[in-house]
């Protein structure tokens, strides 16, 4: 003979556990919310402060990344013998011509340590480059940006934070514009 | 961290290579699962390839839309093999839609059929996390915990490894429950495990897309998926037997 009793059903215990677990998960989501301050580390990856660059230019002066603080900067590592670098230089120049007044700067860092110094000036003349060309004679800038292949391009916002890392090339003007234009609209 | 592997004159983009291997391995695993069902394997392969192609096209178009003028001036840029100009989220959404539409057209939109695709999705998640680890992307917050990895001037949470561990757990659960549970239960368990993995691993990301206030979008989406994957239990009334044992019966049966 069976007797019906209103004992606590297993289902209600499971419902309680479910609610508790989902509550804990929701609390975890809230507790691990992202802090609004930028990660103070520097490094060549999205979200980190761009590593410093201080190099001599093709014109003989010295230039640093800090000199273009508050502007959107494309740092492009290249060499004169690198075919994709050659192919993307006209696109970089066109973008520079169009957007320099709007807040864009381009630092073309030549990997001089693995290039022929005599060929660099000829390269700049051949493509009519008007943006600064920096000479990485020791390879330190390339090391700080962990450059393992040419070209490598880093897009830095007005706060000095790396926003895009682009390995390889040639990059098209349209692709670069899509990456740069939203940053030009941002405030420092 | 090896974003680029130099082999003589060749510079190989390691994250891209890992994703390629991941896609191939995922397709192989799905095909292996389909062999145990009545699903036409050729049709399934073509569906997945269509999803892959559709996903790539959608990811490129989504990238181009905000700079539509630039792409209209240079339409060929849309089809250039530039690895950097994709919006992966839109690619994934489109690929999922292609699979769902193709399955529905064949009246295959069933739990059993969707279950065949599940391991492939898990493997794609693992490949993505491995690619992030190789690139040094999606890095974690600084930590003093002993398992932190040295990356970008700090010891950091290995968030990519957290995700890989969670995905492997989901894959193992999937395989181990093959003969014990229904496809629906396995699907819920796996999706729940994946959602929990994202909630935990993304909580330690240093940089991610957020809602105002810093709440991470990926965690909120994963929490919603967790709620949906964890069904409310059916209410019931316990019936105590004469021998003292209790049996729970659904209310509808009483």
Closest by CA position to B249, among listed B241, B240, B238: B238
CA distances from B6 to A87, A147, B3, B9, B82 (A): 21, 11, 10, 7, 19
Q: Do A25 and B199 touch (CB under 8 A)?
A: yes
The average confidence (pLDDT) of chain B is 86
Q: For residue A2, give the nearest of B206, B208, B242 by CB distance.
A: B242
- Tell me the whole-structure pTM to 2 decimals: 0.80
The average confidence (pLDDT) of chain A is 89
Q: Do the Cβ atoms of A5 and B240 come closer than 8 Å?
A: yes
Q: Compare all CA atoms of chain B with the CA of A98 and give the residue at the minimum distance.
A: B70
Which pLDDT score is estimated for B245?
45
CB distance from A94 to chain B under 8 Å? no
Q: Do B236 and A35 touch (CB under 8 A)?
A: no
Which pLDDT score is estimated for B97?
94
Q: Average the pLDDT over each of A33-37, A50-54, B77-81, B232-236 and give the range with the smallest value.
A: B232-236
Confidence of residue B254 (pLDDT cuts 50, 70, 90): very low
CA distances from A51 to A6, A16, A48, A58 (A): 68, 51, 9, 21
Which residues have CB under 8 Å from B79's CB, separation 6+?
A: none
User: Tell me: the pLDDT tens digits for B155-209?
Assistant: 999 999 999 999 999 999 998 888 778 888 888 889 999 999 999 999 999 888 8
**CA of B55 vs chain A CAs: smallest distance (Å):** 18
A/B interface, count of CB pairs below 8 Å: 163
Which residues have CB under 8 Å from A131's CB, separation 6+?
A: A92, A93, A96, A100, A105, A106, A107, A108
Q: For residue B207, give the nearest of A2, A39, A172 by CB distance.
A: A39
CB distance from B205 to chain A under 8 Å? yes
Interval B6-35 mean pLDDT: 87
CB distance from B64 to chain A under 8 Å? yes
């Amino acid at each position: 003979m069976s007797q019906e009793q209103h004992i606590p059903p297993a289902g209600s215990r499971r419902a309680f556990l479910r609610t508790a677990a989902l509550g804990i998960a929701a609390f975890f989501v809230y507790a691990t919310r992202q802090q609004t301050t930028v990660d103070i580390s520097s490094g060549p990856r999205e979200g980190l402060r761009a590593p410093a660059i201080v190099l001599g230019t093709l014109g003989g002066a010295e230039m640093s990344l800090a000199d273009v603080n508050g502007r959107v900067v494309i740092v492009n590592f290249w060499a004169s013998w690198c075919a994709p670098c050659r192919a993307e230089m006209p696109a970089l120049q066109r973008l520079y011509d169009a957007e320099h007044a709007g807040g864009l700067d381009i630092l073309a860092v030549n990997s001089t340590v693995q290039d022929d110094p005599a060929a660099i000036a000829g390269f700049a003349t051949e493509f009519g480059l008007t943006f600064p060309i920096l000479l990485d004679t020791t390879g330190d800038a390339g090391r700080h940006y962990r450059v393992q292949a040419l070209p490598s391009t880093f897009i830095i916002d007005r706060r000095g934070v790396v926003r895009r890392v682009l390995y390889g090339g040639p990059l098209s003007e349209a692709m670069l514009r899509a990456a740069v234009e939203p940053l030009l609209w941002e405030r420092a | 961290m090896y974003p680029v592997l130099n082999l003589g004159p060749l510079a190989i983009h390691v994250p891209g290579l890992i994703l390629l291997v991941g896609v191939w391995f995922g397709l192989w695993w799905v095909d292996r699962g389909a062999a145990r069902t009545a699903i036409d394997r050729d049709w399934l392969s073509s569906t997945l390839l269509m999803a892959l192609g559709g996903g790539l096209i959608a990811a490129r178009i989504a990238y181009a839309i905000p700079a539509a003028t630039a792409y209209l001036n240079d339409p060929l840029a849309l089809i250039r093999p530039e690895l950097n100009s994709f919006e992966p989220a839109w690619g994934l959404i489109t690929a999922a839609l292609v699979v769902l539409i193709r399955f529905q057209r064949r009246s295959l939109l069933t739990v059993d059929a969707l279950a065949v695709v599940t391991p492939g999705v898990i493997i794609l998640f693992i490949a993505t996390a491995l690619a992030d680890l190789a690139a040094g992307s999606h890095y974690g917050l600084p930590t003093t915990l002993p398992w932190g990895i040295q990356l970008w001037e700090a010891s950091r949470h290995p968030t990519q490894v957290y995700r890989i561990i969670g995905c492997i757990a989901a894959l193992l659960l999937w395989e181990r429950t093959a003969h014990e549970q229904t496809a629906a239960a396995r699907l819920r368990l796996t999706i729940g495990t994946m959602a929990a993995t994202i909630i935990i691993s993304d909580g330690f990301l240093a940089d991610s897309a957020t809602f105002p206030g810093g709440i991470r979008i990926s965690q909120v989406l994963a929490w919603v998926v967790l709620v949906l994957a964890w069904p409310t239990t059916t209410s019931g009334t316990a019936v105590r037997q004469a021998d003292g044992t209790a049996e729970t019966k659904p209310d509808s049966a009483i």
